[in-house]
Amino acid sequence: MSEFFKNRKILIAGGAGFVGTNLIKRLLDYNVRIRATVHLREPQLVDDRIEFIKCDLTRKEDCRKVVEGMDYVFMCAANTSGAAVMEKDPLVHVTPNIIMNTLMLDAAYQAKVDKFLWLSSNTVYPVADYPVKEEDVGGDLFEKYFCVGWMKRFTEILCQMYAEKIKNPMKVGVIRPANIYGPYDDFEWETSHVLPALMRKVAERHDPIEVWGDGNDIKDFIYIDDFIEGILEAMEKIETFDPVNIGTGKPCSIKQALQAMLVADNYCDAKIVFNSSKPTMIPKRLIDVSKAKRILKFTAKTVLTDGIKKTITWYRSQCKGR
């Protein structure tokens, strides 16, 4: 990485979360001033070089307080959950996220922040059996993701307003991630996504291992270290509103990912049952990553088997007491 971040004041909104924690860990390698927000969760990293601020980003005054004096903002804070919660309450992510994103963009703009990077989602794309490109937004979203997908798309348009549609615009970048996994992920049953949930079942030797759906869903899984590299490149190189996919471009089924987990954790005699009555999400999501290669010079380096091995090893070392 260049000298871009040296001596800069950087805010990571969502500093106790999965992406935020790993981003902080990486930025500690640079000579930067790190401020991070926490809300309900305690920080997962403790270091005297991090200024943690406990706040509620649905409050205007808290947003203005945390962005004050910052050069760059990574907006990693979000209200998230897994398939079960979204199935039960499709609106659960709409209001809090729209409020947070709106207030943080406005606070950053008023504080004259140099650059703001926001994490969107691949749920903004319609159902498709081809690798989706950044211009493929629009059309019919996957029904179960209708609410969260349009919440994300609305915020992307809001980002475009601040980047292009006002006088004295702010530099705002938008990233559409693939399915991220790795250390510091959410492994709680109620809120975890598919990979951490299955990894926990493997590590805890569930017998049988229950897989929601038929295991044939196709995803693009990117290891967290690669994703962090991608968003650091994006913060440095994106100068205008120009959404970019960050993924591997290599599809993988849930069955394949589970098999890699069983091998990585030496669970040789596992019994697997597929439960199609449980909620599942987009059955096939392929992601075109050519724009990230072209604009950011970014290519994911970690193969799935290695990333899964690293994540399970981390889970066993940190989370045995669950």
Single out the residue of 64, 15, 22 nearest to residue 43, CA to CA. Answer: 15
CATH assignment of the domain containing 232: 3.40.50.720
Give the pLDDT confidence score for residue 228 in this predicted structure.
98
At 152 the pLDDT is: 96
Alpha-carbon distance of 269 to 292, in angstroms, equals 40
pTM for this model (two decimals): 0.95
Average pLDDT, the chain: 93
For residue 173, what are the domain limits?
A: 7-318
Is there a domain that residue 303 lies in? Answer: yes
Query: How confident is the model at residue 81, as a pLDDT?
Result: 59
Residue 144 in this model has a pLDDT that exceeds 60: yes
Is the pLDDT confidence value at 2 over 80? Answer: no
Provide the token pair at 307. Answer: 């990333």
Task: Name the residue type at position 268.
Answer: C
The confidence band for 248, taking pLDDT boundaries of 50, 70 and 90, is very high
Rounded-to-integer distance, Cα 298 and Cα 231, Å: 10
Share of the chain above pLDDT 70, in %: 95
Percent of the chain clearing pLDDT 90 (strictly above): 83
> β-strands 218-219, 252-253: how paired?
antiparallel
User: Residue 2: inside a domain, yes or no?
Assistant: no
- Name the band, by pLDDT with cuts 50, 70 and 90, for residue 322: very low
Residue 305 lies in a domain: yes
Count of the separate structural domains present in the chain:
1
**Residue 59 covered by a domain:** yes
Q: Is residue 169 part of a domain?
A: yes
Asked if residue 224 is part of any domain, the answer here is yes
**Which of 19-28, 171-180, 184-193 is predicted with the least confidence, judged by mean pLDDT?**
184-193
C-alpha atoms less than 13 angstroms from C-alpha of 62 in its C-beta half-sphere: 17
Residue that the structure tokens 């996957």 belong to: 142
- Tokens found for residue 263: 């091998």
Q: Which of 69-83, 125-139, 215-229 has the lowest mean pLDDT?
A: 69-83
What pLDDT does 235 receive? Answer: 97
Q: Round to whole Å and give the CA distance between 96 and 116.
A: 19
**53 domain-assigned:** yes
Provide the 3-class DSSP secondary structure of residue 173. Answer: strand
Is 195 within a domain? yes
